[in-house]
Amino acid sequence: MSDLKGTCLCGSIKYSCSSEPVFVLACHCNACQKATGSAFALVVGLKKEDFKVSGDTITTYNHTGDSGNVSIRRFCSKCGSGVYAENPLRPGIVTARGGTLDKPFHLKPAANVYWRDHQEWVEHIADMPFHDTTLRK
């Protein structure tokens, strides 16, 4: 599985990575919940040297985390999609948002991180009904 590819929602930002992910995590921290608008973020660690990005709508937001380190979040100024981030705690690594990958379905998180911040309902996802498309009622 090399040459991972992804885009933001509108396609203005495109990226690829020629190597396997270094890690895949489900991050439940409050910052990821706010940045994604969801209960957690699928975070895909990629080697920066193998990561190529293009597009003229890349915007940066610097966020200071609970570690005191600044996470440099990159997103599209046109559609608002968070695409990738960098953090000094992980030099040489960029973390792509799993949902921006063109084919993320084979990636499975190896761990949940910041579980202390998780939404309690996440523990019961497997018990909920599943639907192939949206509910129409």
- The domain limits of the chain are 4-118
How far is the C-alpha of 87 from the C-alpha of 101, rounded, in Å?
20
Distances in whole angstroms, Cα of residue 125 to Cα of each of 70, 94, 130 = 32, 29, 9
Q: What architecture (CATH level 2) is domain 4-118?
A: Beta Complex (2.170)
> Is the pLDDT score of 1 beyond 60?
no
- Which pLDDT band, with edges at 50, 70 and 90, does 2 fall under? low
- Which pLDDT band, with edges at 50, 70 and 90, does 106 fall under? confident
pLDDT of residue 33: 94
Confidence (pTM):
0.90
pLDDT in tens, 31-59: 999 999 999 999 999 999 999 999 999 99
Report the relative pairing of strands 51-54 and 14-17 from DSSP bridges: antiparallel
Tokens encoding 34 = 């706010």
